[in-house]
């Protein structure tokens, strides 16, 4: 239940703090005083979209804060939502209020908080759905759209969980059919793809590639291309190191490095016999002799292995050209070319196995269609039974709302579809079109006058009839709605004074049922405002060339004046005040009789709690 609403610098509201009570809270006032702005402010803390246009001119920001009592039938669902978003500990309870706030800056940015903790607007909207259900003028248009009728019926029937389970199966079927469609592409296109993949796989496989092959070939090519120079350099190094006759000029070659080093080692060996202190130096020289002898042998072997091989060089060039061509087509490196070939081979295998995979998918498609058919048939049965109950309840309600002998019916239709779900009935199995809701096409029908045929609401309902139908449906659906606070923003539009009394009774009745909703209602009709348990008067005044909206809770005598003004306008007369007192007295007597009478048994809530209806869009016309 909404306990308190605080508003600062929001539209034409400067500072405002409202304390609401249980039961029926009515908000009345002159046109343009800001009644609907209060609903906009409430919507802000319930997660609705807000912008800089809501910030009062000249103010840096607007702020709205609401204090809610967490109690009643919807308390457990609300606590579960708080736990889901990490805003409360598992199992936490208590009677502490819940405080929602929203701040909107003049630049359009907004900040949402729950009990001081910053959250997203989406989280705020989820919490708002558990706290308040706002019904506005645009809801009348919602009633005229057949697409919305199935949602209303399912809420009344308590079929939300069953429908969600069906939706999950339908989603899986769509995925299966998408995969089947990808397998069933045009045969010619698929054949072209197979030919291309097979050519690519065979071309890469025939090359017998190794990732490191190119580097090895490049190194070998450098050696073969420089064979003459390599032989010359190796021969020179060997002769300088170990000696091998004349040099290339024909002159006598100087003594080789090893010969000189051996002489040094011989001299040091004799020296050590005379002075052992040089033994370490002699050993080091001797070690170098051995190392250079090994190096000379290695150089000699290398020189002897080097030979020019034009044929091998040509083979290497051809192989490098092939590798370059493969890289140009399939990847920047040989590793990428090899990976491309593996991927192409895998895709080719999948296509070649597509027939087997298609059979598996078609079998799964049949299983899912059968499951959808069973679930949809169960939903249809539940909807037919609930539709009969809803039609009877609505007809009783609209008779009370002075719609005479109008008739209301819930029509459930189906469409044949060869690719649809198999549904069995008394005449055999039929293939029916389906969607996330099942196979049913639900539409509400109305015969506004006796003797007229039932027709779709949009073709026969006037504005006033639509408003009363909406109120009738809301009053009936509220019996299975655990949202604690219901807000009605001028739902009496199009309702005349003669029906106002019954509308007031219906609205007040929402507070006295098993769920005992708190109701907030903006109204222009005195017949409705007279039913209020708490009455708030909204007015506007000029201050420093600014229009300021003000709201005050009025006392019993002040209510007389307000009801009188709503009846006859101003200036007030004793006659209008007398009429107002009569109206208020009559309402109080009626309420007392209702409270004293034994309450009829209320229908049990469904096993799965139906979600609150989607809150109304911003009303196009504002008070």
Say what the pLDDT of residue 389 is: 93
Q: Which range in 130-134, 358-362, 386-390, 541-545 is most confidently predicted, on average pLDDT? A: 386-390
Count of residues for the chain? 623
282 φ, ψ to 5°? -60, -40
Give the chain's domain count: 2
Say what the pLDDT of residue 514 is: 62
For the chain, report the end-to-end CA distance as a whole number of angstroms: 25
Say what the pLDDT of residue 619 is: 34
Say what the pLDDT of residue 356 is: 77
Is residue 556 a part of any domain in this protein?
yes
Q: Which pTM was predicted?
A: 0.59
Q: Which range in 46-50, 141-145, 228-232, 254-258 is most confidently predicted, on average pLDDT? A: 46-50
**Looking at 332, 349, 364, which one is the last position of a domain?**
332
Say what the pLDDT of residue 612 is: 38
Give the pLDDT band of residue 353 (cuts 50, 70, 90): confident
Say what the pLDDT of residue 602 is: 42
Residue 65 has pLDDT above 70, yes or no: yes
Is residue 498 a part of any domain in this protein?
yes
C-alpha distances (whole Å) from 159 to each of 153, 374, 382, 437, 603 are 9, 15, 8, 10, 15
**Residue 223 and residue 95 in one domain:** no
Pairing of the two strands 117-119 and 110-114 = antiparallel
**Residue 499 and residue 607 in one domain:** yes
Residue 33 has pLDDT above 70, yes or no: no
- What does the mean pLDDT of the chain come to? 82
**Residue 621 and residue 494 in one domain:** yes
**Residue 490 and residue 622 in one domain:** yes
Residue 147 has pLDDT above 90, yes or no: no
**Residue 218 and residue 102 in one domain:** no
pLDDT in tens, 115-128: 889 998 888 888 88
- Alpha carbons 27 and 38: distance in angstroms, whole number: 10
Give the pLDDT band of residue 186 (cuts 50, 70, 90): low
Average pLDDT (229-247) is 73
Average pLDDT (34-55) is 87
pLDDT in tens, 291-346: 988 888 888 887 777 766 777 778 888 888 899 999 999 989 999 999 999 999 99
Structural Rg of the chain based on CA atoms: 45
Is residue 124 a part of any domain in this protein?
yes
Tell me if the bond preceding 571 is cis, omega within 30° of 0.
yes
Give the pLDDT band of residue 280 (cuts 50, 70, 90): very high
Give the pLDDT band of residue 465 (cuts 50, 70, 90): low
**Looking at 312, 332, 352, which one is the last position of a domain?**
332
Average pLDDT (461-474) is 70
Residue with tokens 């021969």: 235
**Residue 15 and residue 107 in one domain:** yes
Percentage of the residues of the chain whose pLDDT score is greater than 90: 33
Say what the pLDDT of residue 405 is: 79
What residues are paired with 543 via a beta bridge? 546
610 φ, ψ to 5°? -70, 145
Q: In 10 A of CB 393, how many CB atoms?
A: 19
Say what the pLDDT of residue 254 is: 61
Say what the pLDDT of residue 283 is: 92
Say what the pLDDT of residue 185 is: 66
Residue 250 has pLDDT above 50, yes or no: no
Residue 234 has pLDDT above 80, yes or no: no
CATH of the domain at 555: 3.40.50.300
Residue 173 has pLDDT above 90, yes or no: yes
Question: Do 283 and 195 meet the contact criterion of CB atoms below 8 Å apart?
Answer: no
**Residue 494 and residue 589 in one domain:** yes
**Residue 128 and residue 226 in one domain:** no
Percentage of the residues of the chain whose pLDDT score is greater than 70: 85
Is residue 473 a part of any domain in this protein?
no
Say what the pLDDT of residue 534 is: 93
**Residue 500 and residue 600 in one domain:** yes
- Alpha carbons 355 and 351: distance in angstroms, whole number: 8
**Residue 217 and residue 129 in one domain:** no
Is residue 323 a part of any domain in this protein?
yes
Give the pLDDT band of residue 588 (cuts 50, 70, 90): very high
**Looking at 332, 360, 379, which one is the last position of a domain?**
332
Say what the pLDDT of residue 436 is: 92
pLDDT in tens, 589-613: 998 888 887 655 444 433 333 333 3
- Alpha carbons 159 and 606: distance in angstroms, whole number: 8
More confident residue, 250 or 499: 499
Is residue 286 a part of any domain in this protein?
yes
Residue 567 lies in domain: 1-134+486-504+518-623
Residue 170 has pLDDT above 80, yes or no: yes
**CA angle, corner 566, sides to 562 and 567, nearest 5?**
115
3-state secondary structure of 440: coil
Say what the pLDDT of residue 497 is: 67
Residue 521 has pLDDT above 80, yes or no: yes
Question: Do 130 and 483 meet the contact criterion of CB atoms below 8 Å apart?
Answer: yes
Concatenated DSSP letters for 451-509? TPPPEEHHHH--HHHHHHHHHHHHHHHGGG---SEEEEESTTTT--HHHHHHHHHHHHH
**Residue 323 and residue 218 in one domain:** yes
Is residue 381 a part of any domain in this protein?
no
Residue 513 has pLDDT above 70, yes or no: no
Say what the pLDDT of residue 463 is: 63
Residue 67 has pLDDT above 70, yes or no: yes
Is residue 476 a part of any domain in this protein?
no
Among 373, 384, 376, which residue's Cα sits nearest to residue 157? 384
C-alpha distances (whole Å) from 72 to each of 75, 157, 482 are 6, 22, 8
């Amino acid at each position: 239940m909404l306990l308190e609403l605080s508003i600062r610098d929001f539209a034409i509201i400067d500072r405002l703090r409202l304390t609401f009570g249980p039961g029926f809270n009515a908000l009345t006032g002159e046109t343009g005083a800001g009644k609907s702005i209060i609903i906009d402010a409430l919507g802000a803390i319930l997660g609705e979209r807000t912008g800089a246009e809501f910030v009062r001119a000249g103010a840096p920001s607007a702020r709205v804060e609401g204090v809610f009592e967490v109690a009643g039938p919807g308390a457990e669902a609300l606590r579960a939502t708080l736990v889901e978003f990490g805003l409360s500990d598992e199992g936490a309870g208590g009677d502490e209020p819940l405080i929602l706030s929203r701040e909107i800056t003049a630049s359009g940015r907004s900040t949402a908080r729950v009990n001081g903790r910053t959250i997203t607007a989406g989280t705020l909207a989820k919490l708002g759905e558990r706290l308040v259900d706002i019904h506005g003028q645009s809801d009348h248009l919602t009633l005229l759209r057949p697409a919305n009728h199935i949602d209303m019926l399912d809420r009344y029937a308590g079929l939300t969980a069953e429908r969600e389970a069906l939706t999950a199966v339908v989603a899986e079927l769509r995925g299966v059919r998408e995969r089947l469609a990808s397998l069933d592409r045009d045969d010619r296109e698929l054949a072209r793809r197979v030919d291309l993949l097979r050519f690519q796989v065979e071309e890469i496989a025939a090359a017998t590639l190794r990732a490191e092959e190119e580097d090895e070939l490049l190194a070998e090519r450098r050696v073969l291309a420089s064979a003459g120079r390599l032989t010359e350099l190796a021969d020179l190094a060997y002769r300088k190191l170990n000696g091998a006759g004349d040099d290339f000029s024909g002159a006598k070659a100087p003594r080789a490095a090893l010969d000189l080093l051996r002489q040094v080692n011989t001299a040091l060996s004799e020296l050590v016999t005379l002075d052992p202190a040089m033994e370490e130096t002699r050993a080091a020289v001797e070690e170098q002799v051995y190392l250079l002898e090994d190096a000379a042998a290695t150089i000699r072997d290398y020189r002897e292995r080097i030979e020019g091989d034009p044929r091998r060089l040509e083979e290497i060039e051809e192989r490098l050209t092939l590798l370059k061509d493969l890289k140009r087509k399939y990847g920047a490196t040989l590793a990428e070319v090899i990976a491309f070939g593996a991927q192409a081979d895998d895709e080719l295998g999948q296509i070649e196995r597509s027939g087997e995979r298609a059979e598996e998918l078609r079998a799964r498609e049949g299983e899912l269609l059968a499951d959808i058919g069973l679930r949809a048939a169960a939903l249809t049965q539940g909807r037919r039974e609930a539709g009969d109950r809803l039609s009877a309840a609505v007809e009783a309600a609209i008779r009370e709302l002075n719609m005479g002998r109008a008739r209301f019916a819930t029509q459930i239709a189906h469409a044949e579809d060869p690719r649809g779900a198999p549904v069995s009935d008394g005449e055999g199995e039929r293939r029916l079109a389906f969607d996330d809701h099942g196979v049913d096409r639900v539409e509400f029908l109305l015969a506004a006058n006796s003797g007229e045929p039932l027709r779709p609401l949009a073709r026969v309902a006037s504005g006033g009839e639509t408003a009363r139908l909406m109120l009738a449906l809301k009053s009936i659906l509220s019996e299975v709605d655990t949202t604690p606070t219901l807000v009605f923003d001028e739902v009496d539009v199009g309702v005349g004074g003669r029906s106002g009394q019954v509308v007031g009774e219906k609205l007040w009745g929402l507070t006295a049922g098993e769920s005992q909703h708190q109701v907030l209602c903006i109204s222009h009709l005195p017949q409705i405002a007279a039913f209020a348990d708490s009455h708030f008067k909204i007015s506007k005044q000029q201050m420093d060339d600014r229009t300021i909206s003000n709201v005050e809770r009025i006392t019993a005598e002040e209510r007389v004046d307000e009801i009188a003004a709503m009846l006859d306008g101003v200036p007030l007369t004793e006659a209008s005040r007398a009429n107002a007192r009569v109206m208020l007295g009559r309402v109080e007597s009626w309420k007392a009789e209702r409270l004293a009478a034994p309450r009829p048994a209320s229908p049990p809530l469904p096993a799965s709690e139906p979600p609150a209806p989607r809150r109304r869009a911003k009303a196009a016309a504002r008070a």
